[in-house]
Amino acid sequence: MSIFQRLGRLDPRVFFTLLIFAVAIPIISPLGLPVPITQPVLDAYNYIENLPEGSVVLYSMSVAGGGWDDVGGGVIATMQHLFSRPVKIIIFSYFADSVPWVEYTLNNIDKHGKKYGEDYVWLGYLAGGEAMLAGLASSIRSITTTDAYGTPLDNLPMMKDIDNIHDIDLIVHAEISTIFEAYLRQFQAPYGKPIILICPSMMVTMYFPYYPNQAIGIIGGVRGSAEYELLIHRPGMASVSTDTLSTTHILIIVMIIMGNIGYYFERKIRRGE
């Protein structure tokens, strides 16, 4: 068997090892490669930047452990951006697993003097799936009468005049699973509320048909997150990961080329026989 032929029949473990190096090297010594900014991210940024004073934002933080590394940067960056704007924020989670990450996010941003209960509220994990979202749209109090810490909503100053979807101006939804369509069905289709979506990069292709009519902006994965971090001038966890994206992607391209060379020679020899 020639060397070229062998290229087409490599043991997968060879490139598993190469992959480990491709990931590890930029982490140990960062390369600092540039990232251009894309339109869906810019749209999301501009919308938040131009929210009128006193707007209410419903933040659905539905990211859990497994996907945090991909979308966490975007979550922190958008949350940071919202906290720097004169708006009120209501946070809830669709999944129980997301609860620790909400606390993690709130501990890792600069709150710009926003006070709990007056400027932002954390409702905790709200069970019930899509029915919960429908309930939330008609009345928040039909789903939960207290916040995550057990304080009745009526005792929180900012919640006094807020109860249903009509009091809310923007929905930001961060997810790692595929529940975004439920948000479209419950918030966007019936009430026409704008939604900004933060989702893993692989979901971008799936959700792209909804942009820009149904989702006004999409922040997709590490790359979108890194762009958003650049826009708010706070490089964070996503910016660190973009270097490894370059190296690993190049590795995959090289492997595809090797596979094709191997295949080409294999076929040539088979034809010769």
Partner 1 sequence: MILVSGRISAFITLLILCGFILWYIMEARKGRVPKLRRLPALEAIDEAVGRATEMGRPVHVSCGSGGSIRDEWASQVLAGLSVLSYVAELCAEYDTSLIATTPVADNFPIMSEIVREAYRRKNKEESFKPDMVVYVPGYNAASIGIMVERNIAANIMVGPFWHESVILAEVGASLGAIQIGGTATTHQLPFIVASCDYVLIGEEMFAAGAYLSRDPVQIGSIAGMDWGKVLAILLTLFGLLMEAAGFSIIKYLNM
Partner 2 sequence: MAWYKSREFCQIVTLIVAIIILITYFFDIPGGGEVASHLQAFGTIVSAFALMVGVLNLFQIHLPNLMRKGRYWYTSFIVCASIILWASIAICLGSEHPISRTLYMTVNYPLSGTAYSFTAFYITSAAYRAFRARNIDSFILLTIGTLVILYNTPIANAVFPTFGDIGDWIFAVPNKAGFRGVVIGIALGSVAVGLRTLLGMERGYLRGGG
Partner 3 sequence: MPTEELILNLITIYLILGLYSFVFKDNIHYRLVLGVYVGSIAGWSLALQYEYIVRTMSSALSKGQVYYILALILGLMLFFKFSKRHLWVYRIPIAYLVGLGVALSIRAIVSTQFLQQIQATILPIWTPDPWTNINNLIFIIMVISSLWFFTFHFEHKGVSEKIARIGRYTLIAAFGAGFGNTVMFRMSLITGRFRFLLSPNNRIYTVIIALILIVSVAVYEQYIKKK
Interacting residue ranges for partner 1, rule: CB under 8 A: 12, 129-130, 177-178, 181-182, 189-190, 202-203, 205-206
- Measure the CA–CA gap between 74 and 49, rounded to whole angstroms: 15
Q: Does 222 participate in binding partner 3 (rule CB under 8 A)?
A: yes
What does 178 interact with, of partner 3, partner 2, partner 1, none (CB < 5 to 8 A by kind)? partner 1
Range in contact with partner 3 (rule: CB under 8 A) among 35-43, 47-55, 76-84, 234-242: 234-242
Identify which of residues 182 and 245 has a Cβ nearer to partner 1 in the complex. Answer: 182
Q: Which of 27, 189, 260, 269 binds partner 2 (CB under 8 A)?
A: 260
Q: In what order do the strands lie in the sheet with 217-220?
A: 120-125, 88-93, 56-62, 170-175, 195-199, 217-220
- Measure the CA–CA gap between 39 and 41, rounded to whole angstroms: 5
Q: Does 250 participate in binding partner 3 (rule CB under 8 A)?
A: no
Q: Which of 92, 231, 245, 265 binds partner 2 (CB under 8 A)?
A: 245
Q: Does 189 participate in binding partner 3 (rule CB under 8 A)?
A: yes
Q: Which of 145, 139, 196, 198 is nearest to 166 (CA)?
A: 139
Range in contact with partner 2 (rule: CB under 8 A) among 27-35, 77-85, 113-121, 157-165: 27-35
Cβ of residue 204: shortest distance to partner 1, in angstroms? Answer: 9
Work out the number of other CB atoms within 10 angstroms of the CB of residue 127: 13
Q: Which of 68, 83, 92, 183 binds partner 2 (CB under 8 A)?
A: 68
Q: Which of 217, 221, 236, 262 binds partner 3 (CB under 8 A)?
A: 221
Q: Which residues of 128-150 are buried (b: 16+ CB within 10 A; e: fewer)?
A: eeeebbbbbbeebbebbeebbee
Q: What angle do CA 101, 102, 108 make, to 5 degrees?
A: 85
Torsion of CA 195, 196, 201, 206, to 10 degrees: 20
Helix (H) / strand (E) containing 166: none
Cβ of residue 116: shortest distance to partner 2, in angstroms? Answer: 17
Cβ of residue 119: shortest distance to partner 1, in angstroms? Answer: 33
Helix (H) / strand (E) containing 171: strand 170-175
Identify which of residues 60 and 98 has a Cβ nearer to partner 3 in the complex. Answer: 98
Q: What angle do CA 99, 105, 110 make, to 5 degrees?
A: 150
Q: Which residues ranging from 99 to 158 are in contact with partner 2 (CB under 8 A)?
A: 99-100, 127-131, 134-135, 138
Q: Are 146 and 153 in contact (CB under 8 A)?
A: yes
What DSSP state is assigned to residue 186?
I
Cβ of residue 25: shortest distance to partner 1, in angstroms? Answer: 24
Q: Does 239 participate in binding partner 3 (rule CB under 8 A)?
A: no
Q: Which residues ranging from 70 to 89 are in contact with partner 3 (CB under 8 A)?
A: 70
Positions that interact with partner 3 (CB under 8 A): 13, 16, 19-20, 23-24, 27-28, 66-70, 96, 127, 130, 181, 184-185, 189, 200-206, 209, 213-214, 221-223, 237, 240-241, 244-245, 248-249, 252
